[in-house]
Each structure stands twice: as C-alpha cells, then as structure tokens.
Structure 1
Amino acid sequence: MRLILSALMVFAFTPPVMAQTAEAERTIMSTVVAEHDRHIDLLERIVNVNSGTLNLAGVTAVGEMVRAELDPLGFEVRWIDMAQTGRAGHLIATHDGGGRNILLIGHLDTVFESNSPFQRFARDGSQATGPGVGDDKGGVIVIIAALRAMQAAGTLEGSNITIVLTGDEERPGSPLAVARRDLIAAGQVADYALEFEGLAIENGEEFGTIARRSSSSWTLTTGGRTGHSSGVFGDTLGYGAIYEMARILDTFRRELPEPNLTYNVGVIAGGTPAEIDAAGFRVQASGKTNIVAETAIARGDLRTLTPEQDARVRDRMAGIVDDHLAKTTAELVFAEDGYPPMAPTPGNTALLERLNAVNRDLGLPEMAPFDPAKRGAADSGFVAADVDTLGGLGTAGSGAHAVGESIDLDSLVRQSQRAAVLIGRLSLGDR
C-alpha cells in the first residue's frame, strides 16, 4: 500500500501540457484507495452467491449484481440468454463515449457448483479465501473499481468501452460457436482487448500475459482381433487393441515434444469390451489375462501456442495413429469445441509496453511477458485473432479451482489503478 500511495507523488512534477490528464489520473489513484473497503465488501457479497457454471440461477444472480454496479455508470447493460447452449447467459455492457473501443473480458461463473463444500468468503487481514474469489470474481471487481475511479476522474465520460462477462467460462456451453458468438463479435469491432483473469506472479514478480495456449480435446479408439492370448503377436490375432494404444501414446511421448506444446492423456481403458460414456468423462472395461483385448479408448487434451502449431501437431498425431501394428485399427477424433490460442503477436507486445508505461508513471515495477506454457486457456483466445489483446489484469492470489482459493486483497488496488489509467489512455489517447 505504501508503494501505491507514493505513486500519487509521481504526478506532482508533471509538465503543464500534461497537467489535465495528470490531475485525472491522480484522482483515479486516490479514488481506488478510498473505495477499497467498498470493493472488498462487494467482492464478499458476490463470492457468497454460488455461481458454479451449472447453477444457472446463481450465475444470473451475480450478473444482476454486476448490472447494479454498471447502470449508475451510464452503461447500457444487456443479458444474453444462453438456454440454447444449456447455460445461464452472458452480461454485455456498452458505454460509447467516442474514442477507440476497449473490450474488457471476464466471467461470472466459477468451478464450484452448489454441492461443493467450499461456499463462503473468509477474510484474514489482507488475504481472503472463497469460491471464485480470484477466478474470476476478483477480476470483475477490478473492472468495476476501475470504471468507478474513471467516472470520478472524468475519464469515463469520453471512453468507448464494451464489457463481456461470460457465464460459462469454466464449462462452456455447446455448441461453442453459439456460446462465444457475442464475445467474438465484440472482438471484431474492438481496438484493444483486456482480459481480467488472475495476475501472473512468480517468485514475487508480476508478469504481463501476452499469450495463452489453446485447449482442445481428442479421443483415440483402437481395435484388435480378440481371442485366446496364446495367439497374441501371431499372424491370426496380431497385437490387440491395448498394444496398439500403447504404441501410439508412447510414440506421441517420444516424437511430438516441442516448445509450448502439451498433449496430456487424462483417462484410458482397454479390454473386451471397453467403452466411454457420452460425456467423454467415464470409461469402463472388462477382460481376462488370457484374452487379447478387442478395444481400447483414451481421451486427452492438446494445448498449442499458435494456430499453425496446432494444425501441424494434429497432422503429426494423425500420421502416428495411421501406422498400425498388425491386425489392429485406430481412430483419432478431435473435438469440434475447443479454446483457440491467444498467440503472441507484436500488437500484444506493444500493448504490454503501454501497460508498462502506466507502471512507470504509477511507480510500479515493469512487467515482463509471462511464459504462456504456465497459463491456461481463457476467453481472450476467442478474440485474439482479431484484436491486440492483453491478459492477466485481474487480482493476485493462489489456489484457483481448488478449495481454499485465495486472493491478495491489496492487489485489488494496484490492479484497478493500472486498469483505469490504461483504459483511459487507450480509449482517449496516450498522454
């Protein structure tokens, strides 16, 4: 907090030509500090409303709480119903004050459904725990706090801002083309996109997110001739489904590795028979040691940094699958619904430099790009092909997606200050 408050001094020596903007940004800084307790209270209230993705009423209720914050700021707020995809919906808010359009991205849902034992906000000094407290309700509070500070400083009035808060980021509805239709459309007309997932921190150092990897899934099914195990490896029975599965997965392990690529196997079963449920999460199999396996099934994910890498790796995986052991078959199917990558681009790098200019002026440390292999996929991937994008502008914390998820409440202040100044400069023009 000392660093945050001392940053107010930076503007005291601003040249006269910049005085008006400097005064507005001083107001932003002080407003965020003054309203810190208000926003902790708001965070506690929205965390205590369960909004697990499948709790449609809870997601809708959190959306209404956010609407109540945005309406007084002059935003036109709409709720986009997503019953077609089996989800609650998305909140979209627009404020067209002219200038370049800034798209702000976050989400209302959490991974903690109504039956989770982890349901309540708990504070211990500058730390707090709660379901979704950082992912992504803390990020939503950063957006609200930043916009309130901009209103107090007079920089919101002339800003052109679109907010998209999805209601199913943690478990997207299907078809994905419908579930992300409105977010994609917003990205296509935006000049910049800022995503408010958690801040990347490593060894106490804060980083900027200019890239995220994709997330897609695949299913591999292998088949073999079944019969008495005494005939395995022979001309009649060949190798069976499990040996074919083992060949393919081990070849993936040996031949595919390259930077920023992973291809996890999450579930596997083999036998006579073996099957997987319609949702693709549960497998079952039976068999005996003296029977050659007839079927094997595995499901996994694929994470890549660029569309080009994704296409290349899929082709290599398909080639490995097609090189069958004797008397076996194999089929590799990639799911149609997946998160695209937020590839690193010069535009994203330039956007991080704009944030670092803010950091310098606020007396905060500059941020290097974070290793994308250490970040998960996010909704920013759906717009990154169309607009320069910067991610990780939410709060600092730990334990996302796990009981005990925590937040550094002081990070609400510096992240809201950074965001408010950056949004104003991007929309209205740099100082």
Structure 2
Amino acid sequence: MRMPRLFVSLIAVGLMGGAAAQSLSPEEERIVGLVKANSGTALALLEKTVNINSGTMNHKGIREVGKIFGAELDKLGFKTQWIDMPKEMQRAGHLVATREGKQGKRVLLIGHLDTVFEANAPMQKWERQGESASGQGVNDMKGGDVIIIEALRALHAARALDNTTISVIFTGDEESAGDPKEISRRDMVNLAKRSDVALAFEATVLDENGKATGTIGRRSSTSWQLEVKGKQGHSSGIFNASAGFGAVYETARILDTFRQQLQEPNLTFNPGLILGGTEVTYDATAAKGTAFGKSNVIANSATVKGDLRFLTPEQGEQARTRMRSIVAQSLPGTSAQIRFHDGYPPMAPTNGNLKVLEQYSKASADAGLGEIAALPPGLRGAGDVQFVAPYVDSLDGLGATGKGAHAPGEDLDVRSIEQGAIRTAVLLYRLTR
C-alpha cells in the first residue's frame, strides 16, 4: 500500500511552509510574557509531581498527581472531576476539567498522569543539572501536563479564557490502557465528539537538525496470536505423507512468509513470543509461558504472540487479510489459526490534522521559536490521541523535549517547558478567538 499522498508531500518539503512569520499581536506578546514570568513556578510544579511515584498500577500515586493538577485547573475556572474506572479493570481513573463558552473553536487537551515505571520500582527523584532535569516521567509526560497548565495559566491571567470552550483530560492509564478500551477511553471519546480540535502533549520529538516536530499521524497498536497444530510422532517420520511437517516448521513457514510478502512503508508485524513443542502453555496475564518437547518427537503445537502496526484502517485490513491467507496455506499434516485483537486505532494523517499543524507551526514561528515539521508516524509508538483522531482534527507531540523515556535516567530539556507553554498559549489564543 502506498503512503498517503498528503504525508509524502510533508516529507518532501520537510518544514511546513505557509506565510512568512509575523510579529505577535500586543495581547499575544502579553501572554508570552506571562508564561515567561511564571517559568520558575512551572518547574516547581513539575518537580513536585515528578517526585510522586505514579506508575500505572500505583493508583494512590496517580490520584495524588491528579489532585495536584486538578487544584491548579480549579484556580483557572475549570470544573474538575475525577472519573473512576470499574474495580475489575484495576485502573486508577482519569482527571477531567471543562469550561464552557461560545467563542471560537472548542478544544480538547490530552495528557496522562501515569508513568511506565512499576509501582514498586526504585523511585528516581527530580534532579536538575543546568538546563537538564531527570526523574520518573519528567518528559513522558508530566512535562507535557505542566505545559498544558502553564499555557492555560497565562491565558487566564490575560482574561483570554473567558467565554471559551476548553476540555482537559489527564488519563491514569496511558502507559497500559485498561480493558475494555470502550470503557477506559469512553470519556475521552465523548469529549472529542464535543470538540473541534484535539491537542495531545506527548513529548516533542526533534528532527536530525534539532528542530521541533509535530505529529499528524500515528500507527495503530494491534496484537495477534497464532495457534499452530501438527501431528505428534517419531521424528524419523517427519516430512513423509503420514507424519507431515509438524507445528514448528509450519510456524516458521508462516512467519517467514509474513517477512517476505508483507513488508511496506508504515506497516510492521513483530512476533514477540514463540512457544513450540508437545506441551505448550501460555499465561496471557503474565505474558509468559512454558514449552516441553524432545528432539526425537515431532512438535504438535506452537503459539506465537505478536503485534501489528499500520497507519490507516485500510492498510490494517489489507494486512490482516493477507496474513489470514498465508496462515491458511498449511504444510501437510498441519493447521493454523490467527486471531487479532484491536488496541489503539491508527491516527491517519489528514488534511484537518495538517491544518492544525500549520497553525501550530505559525504560532511557534511568530513567537520566535521556529517552524514545526511533520514527524514520520513510524517514529512514534501508540498514544491516547489515536482514540479521538477519528472524530476530530488532531495534533500530538506538543509536550516537553528530553531523552530516555521509559528508562532509568529519563531526562528533560528544562527550556522546553517554557517553549512548549508559549507555543500552546499562542495557538490556543488563536483557535479560541
């Protein structure tokens, strides 16, 4: 499948073109000044929340971070509420903040409170060295959450939030979304359906020249499970008509045919776990299993767990159809089935998303922070914005800049908090006029 023409054009030009940068209006200059004046307070807020362990399964920590951000949003005139998830889902819930008006576009801002670190993992506290700071979730994505708060704080101080419709959702399980997704992402989708634009604040990715990018497309995250059966028997009979090829050879055939026939831009399919033998067990909750077999026995079963990522629903459906066809072409004496489980839907690059990026790029350039390029979707994993992208023009990657997300030593370029808040505040001001 070809890459969407829109995205090809973005890659070709590299930077968003558009009109030449213009100076900010006096009101926008005032808003930028308010962001800068509050930079110290912004970093103090970030330090406070980074020092709270809020791994996805640390529900107490997530609620504590949510309480801090909720108090800040209360001060800005938002109506806040904590939305609990059903107990059986084992997720902390989400913070939602809303304000209603009749002026300009209705905007949804998306962040998350949880980090990827385990609830009992050693806590890495905030540590600052010059223009760099480290700590759990400092760029993924408590830095992005603080950018949202600080942009809104500056707009509130300038009385630019009056009569606007802005919604904020900070999810408590972005790093491991609760199942079923229809429930864990229901409130986010409902907010999107009442909005005109969605902005998500996962970390800003820099291009090879060190310039900020924006995300108008993200690939899906779909899982699949392959179950293969063969005839158990003495290994001396393998390949003959009565014994067949066994489950392991059939599994190898299927996976290698995937590799040879399915590769195309923006499509990946990764087998992350394989178990094969005469006795196979798999524990889906623990994501691990066992296999027993002997070298002189033909394996009778195999299990493969993998993921599938694609940029558009059409590309995904074509890939699933071709995978099913390959699985059905069984070697003698074997059979196989493949099942797919949808996770995060794709965020296809659209003209609407491109328009939002153009507006964001212009806001950044007018503020003296440079134009914003489109990031190739293959460079990002899955994110919450993908659940809302089918309903509303969307842009992601408006958050902080740093390195080492999801790993010990995760860090942050401290300057990116102020820069992100300036870009966001100017963009929001223009969207809501």
Q: TM-score range by the shorter chain?
A: over 0.9
- Partner Cα distance (2:252, 2:239) in 1: 14
Correspondence for 1:393: 398
Q: Using a 3 Å threshold, how does the CA distance of structure 1 residues 66 and 372 change in structure 2: closer, same or farther?
A: same
Determine which of 274, 296, 303 is the counterpart of 2:302. 296
Correspondence for 1:255: 261
Secondary structure at 2:421's aligned position in 1? helix
Shift of 1:23: 2.2
Asked if structure 1 preserves the Cα contact closer than 8 Å seen for 2:268 and 2:309, the reply is yes
Asked if structure 1 preserves the Cα contact closer than 8 Å seen for 2:53 and 2:123, the reply is no
Asked if structure 2 preserves the Cα contact closer than 8 Å seen for 1:268 and 1:283, the reply is no
Secondary structure at 2:174's aligned position in 1? coil
- Partner Cα distance (1:408, 1:171) in 2: 26
Is the aligned partner of 1:226 residue 2:229?
A: no
Correspondence for 2:174: 169
Secondary structure at 1:264's aligned position in 2? strand
Q: Percent identity?
A: 49
Shift of 1:414: 0.9
- Partner Cα distance (2:432, 2:281) in 1: 54
- Partner Cα distance (2:22, 2:307) in 1: 47
Secondary structure at 2:81's aligned position in 1? strand
Asked if structure 2 preserves the Cα contact closer than 8 Å seen for 1:86 and 1:174, the reply is no
Determine which of 44, 49, 52 is the counterpart of 1:46. 49
Is the aligned partner of 1:89 residue 2:93?
A: yes
For 2:420, give the aligned amino acid: Q
Asked if structure 1 preserves the Cα contact closer than 8 Å seen for 2:107 and 2:166, the reply is yes
Is the aligned partner of 1:201 residue 2:206?
A: yes
Is the aligned partner of 1:153 residue 2:158?
A: yes
Is the aligned partner of 1:31 residue 2:24?
A: no
Secondary structure at 1:302's aligned position in 2? strand
Is the aligned partner of 1:281 residue 2:287?
A: yes
Is the aligned partner of 1:245 residue 2:251?
A: yes
Long gaps (5+) in structure 1? 1-8, 15-21
- Partner Cα distance (1:309, 1:10) in 2: 40
Correspondence for 1:333: 339
Secondary structure at 1:311's aligned position in 2? helix
For 1:219, give the aligned amino acid: Q
Is the aligned partner of 1:132 residue 2:151?
A: no
- Deviations 1:337-385 (Å, cap 9, x if unpaired)? x000111000001111111221221122111211100011111001101
Shift of 1:329: 1.2
Shift of 1:114: 2.2
Shift of 1:421: 0.8
Asked if structure 1 preserves the Cα contact closer than 8 Å seen for 2:216 and 2:375, the reply is yes
Moved more, 156-165 or 410-419: 156-165
- Partner Cα distance (1:224, 1:280) in 2: 26
Shift of 1:117: 2.3
Secondary structure at 1:313's aligned position in 2? helix
Shift of 1:90: 0.6
Shift of 1:280: 6.3
Correspondence for 2:193: 188
- Deviations 1:161-189 (Å, cap 9, x if unpaired)? 00011110001111111000011111111
For 1:275, give the aligned amino acid: T
Is the aligned partner of 1:408 residue 2:413?
A: yes
Asked if structure 1 preserves the Cα contact closer than 8 Å seen for 2:56 and 2:119, the reply is no
Shift of 1:326: 0.5
Correspondence for 1:116: 121
- Deviations 1:232-263 (Å, cap 9, x if unpaired)? 11111101110010000000000001110011
Shift of 1:24: 1.9
Secondary structure at 1:202's aligned position in 2? coil
Secondary structure at 2:314's aligned position in 1? helix
For 1:234, give the aligned amino acid: N
Secondary structure at 1:165's aligned position in 2? strand
Moved more, 414-423 or 90-99: 90-99
Q: Using a 3 Å threshold, how does the CA distance of structure 1 residues 259 and 122 change in structure 2: closer, same or farther?
A: same
TM-score (norm 1): 0.93
Shift of 1:267: 1.0
Moved more, 57-66 or 275-284: 275-284
How many pairs align?
A: 410
- Partner Cα distance (1:352, 1:130) in 2: 30
Is the aligned partner of 1:355 residue 2:360?
A: yes
- Partner Cα distance (2:101, 2:417) in 1: 26
- Partner Cα distance (1:96, 1:371) in 2: 35
- Partner Cα distance (2:121, 2:195) in 1: 37
